[in-house]
Amino acid sequence: MVDPTTLERLHGRFEEVLVEAATSDAPFVTEAATHIISAGGKRFRPTLVFLASQFGGPVDEGDLIDAALVVELTHVASLYHDDVMDEADLRRAAPSANARWGNSIAILIGDYLFSRASARVAKLGVEYVALQADTFARLVQGQIAETRGPGEGEDPLAHHLQVVADKTGSLIATSAVFGGMVSGASAEVIEALRSYGEEVGVVFQLSDDVIDITSDEAGKTPGTDLREGVPTLPTLMLGASSDPADAELKTLIDGDLESDEALTVALDGLRAHPVMAQAKAEVRRRAELARSHLAALPDGDAKDMLAQVCTDLVERST
């Protein structure tokens, strides 16, 4: 049975083993490989592994921790690579690895962490290895698609949603599936967990898209993606508008937003535009879709906690 006390204990053990898993015989590699880990994080994916393990039979805690390690090490490894691709200077309020040690080291540390994840998943069995490989392929595919952008004639919003599904939804879905697999859950339950995880992953990113516009200085710095020209749900919805009245705001958003004054005007324009209500409605719709996949799961604390994730994702973007 999962409860807050059990979750806290699992997370405590997990944090200890996570650092051990990233540790190398070479002190510099250990320093660089634990750089992002030491900065903390939500540990959302391990939490999903723990919660999803409640829908089958008895669980071997060592296997459960290993499954959580695989998804978190994979996630952290992808962050090193993402920061190189995005030329990011910060990660979790600290200098990014690429800013501190250069792109080559950051890429190699990401590779090192992927290898540590592979060592752990091999202990779990062939089915886990196969799923991990498929997930890794989707992560890379999503990054390539994001880097290239939509093709000629391709709907930019549909392209964005596929990128989000591949880059974010895939690993969150695998987290839920791993938990179900460790517990020996039925095929029906595992499919429900997979569908839930995939959709929750998309909602997670789309809510971030909204927050980029709606946040204030007390939380995430507003307009970070907007300034950098990163496509988000609200800007893509606006781009799809054929209303001539939107032309000026579109031009502003597509222009130079380097100055604080220009960024403020763009943010104010978006915040006052009906597209924000439309984007929030889409987040709510997809959160309810994620929640609907839980219907196949037995009632209990774990199911309630998974449902609460949907509620929290909606509330953080409103």
Q: What is the pLDDT of residue 217?
A: 54
Angle between helices 170-182 and 126-148 (to 10 degrees): 170
63-80: average pLDDT: 96
Q: Is residue 120 one of the residues assigned to a domain?
A: yes
Report the C-alpha gap between 292 and 284 in whole angstroms.
12
Q: Is residue 163 one of the residues assigned to a domain?
A: no
Q: What is the pLDDT of residue 40?
A: 79
Please indicate, yes or no, whether residues 46 and 145 belong to a single structural domain of this protein: yes
CB 51 within 8 A of CB 306: yes
Q: What is the pLDDT of residue 1?
A: 64
Please indicate, yes or no, whether residues 18 and 142 belong to a single structural domain of this protein: yes
Read off the pLDDT band of 220 (50, 70, 90).
low
Lowest mean pLDDT among 25-29, 194-198, 219-223: 219-223
In this predicted structure, the answer to whether residue 92 has a pLDDT above a threshold of 80 is no
Q: Is residue 90 one of the residues assigned to a domain?
A: yes
Please indicate, yes or no, whether residues 117 and 20 belong to a single structural domain of this protein: yes
CATH of the domain at 56: 1.10.600.10
Domain-terminating residue out of 106, 136, 152: 152
Please indicate, yes or no, whether residues 147 and 196 belong to a single structural domain of this protein: no
Domain-terminating residue out of 152, 178, 210: 152
CB 234 within 8 A of CB 275: yes
Residue 2 — φ and ψ, nearest 5°?
-100, 135
The DSSP 8-state label assigned to residue 34 in this structure reads T
Q: Is residue 165 one of the residues assigned to a domain?
A: no
Please indicate, yes or no, whether residues 138 and 243 belong to a single structural domain of this protein: no
pTM across the whole model: 0.93
Read off the pLDDT band of 267 (50, 70, 90).
very high
Residue 24 — φ and ψ, nearest 5°?
-120, 165
Q: Is residue 180 one of the residues assigned to a domain?
A: no
CB 120 within 8 A of CB 70: yes
Read off the pLDDT band of 309 (50, 70, 90).
very high
Read off the pLDDT band of 178 (50, 70, 90).
very high
Please indicate, yes or no, whether residues 103 and 60 belong to a single structural domain of this protein: yes
Please indicate, yes or no, whether residues 135 and 202 belong to a single structural domain of this protein: no
Q: What is the pLDDT of residue 318?
A: 74
Q: What is the pLDDT of residue 201?
A: 97
H helix intervals, the chain: 4-22, 27-33, 35-38, 44-52, 61-86, 97-101, 103-124, 126-148, 156-164, 170-182, 187-214, 224-228, 233-239, 247-254, 260-271, 274-292, 301-316
* b (16+ CB within 10 A) / e for 38-73: eeebebbbbbbbbbbbbbbeebeeebbbbbbbbbbb
Report the C-alpha gap between 244 and 29 in whole angstroms.
55
Please indicate, yes or no, whether residues 204 and 289 belong to a single structural domain of this protein: yes
pLDDT (tens digit per residue) in 129-157: 999 999 999 999 999 999 999 999 999 99
Average pLDDT of the chain, as a whole number: 93
Read off the pLDDT band of 222 (50, 70, 90).
confident
Structural domain total, the chain: 2
Please indicate, yes or no, whether residues 93 and 233 belong to a single structural domain of this protein: no
Q: What is the pLDDT of residue 86?
A: 78
User: What are residue 95's DSSP bridge partners?
Assistant: 90
193 exposure class (CB count in 10 Å sphere: 0-12, 13-18, 19+): buried
Q: What is the pLDDT of residue 3?
A: 75
Separation in Å, CA 291 to CA 149, 288, 316 = 30, 5, 16
In this predicted structure, the answer to whether residue 236 has a pLDDT above a threshold of 90 is yes
Q: Is residue 158 one of the residues assigned to a domain?
A: no
Separation in Å, CA 105 to CA 17, 96, 118, 185, 305 = 24, 11, 20, 40, 39
Q: What is the pLDDT of residue 144?
A: 95
User: What are residue 90's DSSP bridge partners?
Assistant: 95
Q: What is the pLDDT of residue 93?
A: 67
Q: Is residue 3 one of the residues assigned to a domain?
A: yes
Please indicate, yes or no, whether residues 198 and 125 belong to a single structural domain of this protein: no
Q: Is residue 181 one of the residues assigned to a domain?
A: no
Please indicate, yes or no, whether residues 18 and 147 belong to a single structural domain of this protein: yes
Lowest mean pLDDT among 46-50, 92-96, 215-219: 215-219
Angle between helices 156-164 and 126-148 (to 10 degrees): 150
Please indicate, yes or no, whether residues 125 and 237 belong to a single structural domain of this protein: no
Report the C-alpha gap between 10 and 141 in whole angstroms.
32
Q: What percent of the chain has pLDDT over 90?
A: 84
Angle between helices 260-271 and 187-214 (to 10 degrees): 120
Angle between helices 44-52 and 187-214 (to 10 degrees): 150
Top-confidence residue, 91 or 308: 308
Q: Which helix (H) or strand (E) holds 91?
A: strand 90-91
Report the C-alpha gap between 257 and 225 in whole angstroms.
11
Q: Which domain holds residue 100?
A: 1-152
Domain-terminating residue out of 91, 126, 152: 152
pLDDT (tens digit per residue) in 2-57: 778 888 899 999 999 999 999 999 999 999 999 988 887 889 999 999 999 999 99
